[in-house]
Chain A
């Protein structure tokens, strides 16, 4: 069955304006009579909750952390894109739209992406008005930097902490509404089910993580801004608490889950050091502006490095393989994330990995240090042949640009990256897939909305750098608060929603039973034991490079692991107390279901696109030999899965993607 995205008619550039002019609104007096639940307080959820409250709705906001400010949006480093064209380099809404669709390998919805580009400039205005301290030039105007995969400078930033500053901006707007009493904030609360009454989302069941109490909360609409599900891999750059539970519960209540297999594996992360590892740390993409990626050319050098007999700095220039520069001369070290990640994996699989585990490549700043050092010596009129001086000057420049990242690396790895190359390896970072939403950001359950990373909409099969922050804030500040009115305008006479209905009763009992089962299971293995096993299956068979055989095995293995989990998991403590193991158990149980759907989706999509790489679908000949091969004829659609009891029984619905304003091309970075 084909899905209708309810995209408005008309020319691309007018769709959003026309849509806003035509949808129903709720008058200010009536907004006071309407309640909205927002789950998650990151960039999307936080900004949506604040804006809805400003408009006059009564908002209840939920986060599992101890404060809304801790949401994982805070960890975004590099920046936020906006088509402001402050640099006068020819940027426009269309160019941002074009870059995003192309970067996403033509698997996103045109109208949504264009709208995103349209509101991007408003985001910057809004954030500056809120007091977000973006980086500025000496003249007092905003500074920009450039990011991978694009030809203009449109990224606004606040040192290496852009996500933090934007989130604190949204948090401050939220605080203002909490202070006014328009938002009721529930910290340390986890949503455990969506309640659907007469086919409409009318509330949630939440667990108070401090007391263990199960609570019913009703509203006229429910918004999920609950982030991505990268933690299905156990090791990822996500926060420890990031989870799929809210999205998965929505899926089980009727929301279709779209493109679960689209995962972004970020090329520059600190490699795994051992079995104890609990998470991976990202090093900003901006490092690839100055760092050169390489492995040794000769196997004997690789072995000597692993045995500690040689240091990377001992390897002569001619014995190094700068494989990105070799394979992609046009873009070199600045190819998009998916391409860079696969290339690293290819070298490591061939045996050229440079650390103990064989899963690391070098990111080397030595030539950048030389280049900047000479430049500085020239500017300052110093001796350009003094090697020590050049190095010192060059290191200072690098320190100004990336100081906090270098310090972070040194703290974790205990090596000085100014003196020896960094070791990096790809890691799971972001999930483009998520809950399917229409143009209004509503899921297939009326009254249930999904925004930010939790939905699938804007990034297609691969996300460009600095676009996640843009999408989260666009959805929360500028899209959802308008579009939700169209739905809520029918609810002005509904009155408060009772929590005493049988639907609430059923949902609460469901949640209680599941918790009881978990705490009384008395198995033999901890939650992490299962989570790590799941992560291994996902990484080995549903990771950077996928094939039909592995995926089919993964589906079976995850299903078996899930059965084992329910038989054998051990959750200490009780249900009525602060019990982190219990919370974790619930999340891992959901990951064990999502993982299977993830593999199933990857198995069905027999093409390579963006972050999804199928070994069966590669270019066989010509200049692009060995590169990913997209199959527009058979797979130019969004795969939205309907829940039918077991992940393996999920039913596929297709939303055909129509490209009227952009020509489909192969992405080439050669």
Chain B
């Protein structure tokens, strides 16, 4: 396959940045998208140019490190996959592919396609935990039975990989799917109920301070989420928040 890549290049956080065209040849359909970028980078290095910086690590769709806005969609045109699991067979010979960083004021660009998602970490610092110390004599794991449906729903929420595709896809750069997933996981489990009020208030407060936009329920996040995190989690967070806010 021969392709034309249009890639966002930006030297550092202060640089203005621009889209640059790169023709690329000899791409095989069974390469992953990131392997295609590896080929490009190898060629750039051999030509004495700077390779394109992008985030990646596990390359099996679980660490959440890879990002990229490909042809107008977070993680590209395939569904239920991260960029590292996207394969070139999704594209055709001769295609032009736009590759941009995840865009949000809360995710400033570090270099090229690499963005800073530490806002997500800070939201978790504000309340994404259950306050239990490690002691070795916590109560037995089977002392509190948990309804299987609740446990499974909590698990589904907990499979969020924190990649930021929800923010990148949202026309408002809202982080509510990400925050909703964490709030939901704990709200559904008995262990999490003790701190539910403070948790949701603190996490939402931090989310707002980070400069994410507001949710207008377009549902784009749910569609683009590589892990299929459900919009129900946002509704649950709304309920939890309102309950907490009226409680004072």
Contacts and interface: CB of A to CB of B under 8 A. Distances in A.
A–B touch (CB < 8 A): the answer is yes
Contact of B57 (A68, A187, A239, A411): A239
A128 B140 CA distance: 9
Contact of A578 (B48, B111, B130): B111
Interface in B131-178: 131-142, 144-148, 151-152, 154-155, 158-159, 161-162
Contacts of A139: 145
Contacts of A124: 141
B191 A122 contact: no
A593 interface: no
Given A161-B62, A178-B125, A412-B85, A67 B191 contact: no
A247 B189 CA distance: 39
A497 interface: no
Contacts of A626: none
Interface stretch (B27-35, B209-217, B235-243): B27-35
B63 A130 contact: no
Interface string A569-612: 01011000110110000000000000000000000000000000
A408 B51 contact: no
A168 B155 CA distance: 12
Contacts of B128: 172, 175
A172 B65 contact: no
Interface stretch (A46-54, A300-308, A652-660): A46-54
Nearest to B159: A161
Contacts of A239: 57-59, 63
B162 A126 contact: no
A251 interface: no
Contacts of B139: 125, 129
Contacts of B138: 122, 125-126, 128-129
Nearest to A164: B62
Interface stretch (B1-9, B16-24, B39-47, B93-101): B39-47
Given A65-B65, A278-B34, A411 B136 contact: no
B91 interface: no
Contacts of B232: none
B64 A70 contact: yes
Given A75-B58, A281-B60, A481 B130 contact: no
B225 interface: no
B118 A187 contact: yes
Nearest to B44: A572
B126 interface: yes
B116 A136 contact: no
A178 B127 CA distance: 11
Given A51-B134, A526-B46, A130 B129 contact: yes
Contacts of B130: 129-131, 172
B180 interface: no
Contact of A570 (B28, B45, B55, B85): B45
A54 B138 CA distance: 15
A528 B42 CA distance: 8
Interface of A: 47, 50-51, 54, 65-72, 74-75, 84, 86, 119, 122, 124-131, 133-142, 158-159, 161, 164-165, 168, 171-173, 175-176, 178-179, 185, 187, 210, 237, 239-241, 273-274, 276-279, 281-282, 407-408, 411-414, 477-478, 481, 526, 528, 570, 572-573, 577-578, 580-581
15 contacts: A71-B63, A125-B136, A126-B136, A130-B129, A133-B152, A137-B148, A171-B124, A173-B129, A240-B58, A274-B30, A276-B31, A407-B80, A477-B136, A526-B42, A528-B42
